[in-house]
Structure 1
């Protein structure tokens, strides 16, 4: 059964996936986007994180292939690189090198531009989906507690559009909270955890003289002592994406010499070798003050009918941890499931509560790591989680079993409860020693 019309604010990753899902339940789906879009749109102002690496976690790739059959294969044809999270990844953990055994968990490395362009092409081929770009949405239209449309500006002209359901997928810059306040709907203060992190990224051309036995190299930070980290990964064919991460105010410089010196300070010297030897294919792009924010829309008792919110407009996670795309995809999977048996325009809190349930695990994972940099007193339960996480990552270099459990949880393929399986706990608490041949 089709309802009449749905409107999605934002043609980014979350908005495109939402439009795909809504096309199954609404006769007409329109996506309104602030940026002007063409078939070859490069990095656009609405997605500043496109200048940094993006990884589609194993669970996210599974959801995408469910929404768009063979999408991951199409991305690979466009240059995305699929890798095994064990044998194809070189990972320098604090206690040593992670095992290089084949784990059977694949990861897709792709630029945000290629990912969105490929999905946008698929979505706009749907007969009941259309795009209106260049629209700056300025507020919601409400009638007796029900959102009936949006208002804004397009080409200096007033823009108004009406719909039975409005979905805010406008990202971390969403203005939904003040828009609701204009109509007397007040939201709780958001939960914010500042990771005190920064990221400086640059693309490099593949050099035929550089040969590595990995597709992704990574060295994570860890509070309170390891403030520097980085990643390097193959993306979109003949390029490497290098990102240097800093925490607690230790930021990578944007100039050539400073960027190279920062990379050279890492223990994973393969990253430094790329920066030193390969030809830059882009400027250095820096983003600082990376944090996580949760707008608790599921706790708003007078939430308007006809309005849903998903993606970064609800939960925006510190992008250093790489969970954002997958969380948005999982929320769209929840949307698809709930639309099959519910009128979400009349009962929108059903969906907002589902978003909150889905976000709980990645939020806990990301903020547990980031609270180590906060400088304030950490609650006992968080201290306990941090203690166990530290013991687990220290045991991983000496145990493939522990590392496999760690990878599958970080890839959101398994629930964190898997990290407390008896065989894993025994190795974590007994303190497995790193293997001498791991590197």
Structure 2
């Protein structure tokens, strides 16, 4: 039996389904209150950073927002320095990045919004090593969870069924199985209601390729970003990472599919507002092949609205809400949920009675902000189905004017980036002072949006 293999006897045990970032962060917090924490994952997990078969998105460019980095630092003191020592650059998101919002180039300024330029495999590996170094934490790979074990009266989850044929008892089971979580199916099979789902169909395809970083390709900066706009559902981002590389991601919404050949990628980049992307593609030396991934829809599961839910079970991270990856919110929200779980367990002295109800209610408030940013922005596109309230239409029009004014007013750029990085709530953009800056700034002489044009550059010699 797996109990003997793990040495799980006596005391309290928490089981985490999934060893991706959301599951690892939950395990980190749970170890503060449980004698043992067992993390189960169906993948093979190596001793060094590597791409994972069951995490296909880890080939793509990931962005750890400024609030996400500070949240991880709360959970793992010294993590930023550890990533920096591993070669990941720390980037001032306002002072070291070219931002082309709606075609308008934001005025740069130094800021305290610092993000880590790190690939997903290195970040996940570093966190996993920190978690597994905690006494009482065990990771079991190549093991899938096939269902929940229920108490005799069916009111509580008391463990999990394993693909190996055994069961594992637990005082708390945390489902961090991602957007493919089978939680709703398990709840239905146990006679519990399933959460309502909100879906926003965006049909995003993104292609990421890494290149050898040359500062001149980014005018000495560490990144560049340009967003999609109605009528042109294409976007792109480049970000420096560890190993002296820069990752370029080309994104298409609503069926737009970036190509993967050199000429096609360059032509796609030429259609974007930021000229640096095409320069990198044409001039930099590739460090690997382009990788494509498709993301059909943002999905939010409304667990906080359920009237009945079993004790001893919790759902976190992407299993709770999966965001359009273009906005880079997923890892940061997972970290904020882990901090919430820590607060709730600290407050209750580690007791889990009623934990799910409290967690889901407060996690919904964490999700509300980034969900409104992602969905509200996606609803600018007429092809995206959804209800466009007066508030959504007003905010989108206002933010467009803010982008115009931010070409000259660095304070407006700072306000926008604080919201984008989940440091400040979206409502902070609607303070009287910010509104006045936008109204009067947008009336001034403002640079027009950049009209994309082909970048004249000599291509790099490619092997």
Q: TM-score, normalised by structure 2?
A: 0.89
- Describe the shift of the 1:377–1:352 C-alpha distance in structure 2 as closer, same or farther (beyond 3 A): closer
* C-alpha contact 1:101 1:400 (8 A) present in aligned 2: yes
Q: 1:277 maps to what in 2? A: 283
Alignment of 1:38-117 (within 5 A): 38-117=46-125
Give the distance between the partners of 1:297 and 1:130, measured in 2 at CA. 28
* 1:386 and 2:392 correspond: no
* C-alpha contact 1:19 1:31 (8 A) present in aligned 2: yes
* 1:10 and 2:18 correspond: yes
Give the distance between the partners of 2:290 and 2:124, measured in 1 at CA. 22
* 1:254 and 2:260 correspond: yes
- Describe the shift of the 1:335–1:369 C-alpha distance in structure 2 as closer, same or farther (beyond 3 A): same
- In the alignment, which of 189, 196, 213 is matched to residue 189 of structure 1? 196
SS of match in other structure, 1:26: coil
SS of match in other structure, 1:61: helix
Shift of 1:299: 1.3
Give the distance between the partners of 2:123 and 2:234, measured in 1 at CA. 28
Alignment of 1:294-309 (within 5 A): 294-309=300-315
* 1:345 and 2:345 correspond: no
Shift of 1:255: 2.4
Shift of 1:372: 2.2
Aligned length: 434
Alignment of 1:117-156 (within 5 A): 117-143=125-151, 144=153, 145-153=155-163
Give the distance between the partners of 1:43 and 1:96, measured in 2 at CA. 36
- Describe the shift of the 1:99–1:437 C-alpha distance in structure 2 as closer, same or farther (beyond 3 A): farther
Give the distance between the partners of 2:166 and 2:234, measured in 1 at CA. 47
Q: TM-score, normalised by structure 1?
A: 0.94
Deviation digits for residues 374-425 of structure 1 (CA, Å, limit 9, x no counterpart)? 1555232322222222222232212111111001111111122221122210
SS of match in other structure, 1:54: coil
- In the alignment, which of 407, 424, 439 is matched to residue 434 of structure 2? 424
- Describe the shift of the 1:210–1:4 C-alpha distance in structure 2 as closer, same or farther (beyond 3 A): same
Give the distance between the partners of 1:322 and 1:305, measured in 2 at CA. 32
Query: Over aligned residue pairs, what C-alpha RMSD do you find?
Result: 2.1
Q: 2:183 maps to what in 1? A: 176
Q: 1:404 maps to what in 2? A: 414
List runs of 5+ in structure 2 lacking aligned partners.
1-9, 451-463
Shift of 1:290: 3.9
Give the distance between the partners of 1:428 and 1:220, measured in 2 at CA. 20
List runs of 5+ in structure 1 lacking aligned partners.
none
Q: 2:454 maps to what in 1? A: none
* C-alpha contact 1:137 1:150 (8 A) present in aligned 2: yes
Give the distance between the partners of 2:445 and 2:312, measured in 1 at CA. 55
By percentage of residues, which structure has more strand? 1
Give the distance between the partners of 1:426 and 1:209, measured in 2 at CA. 37
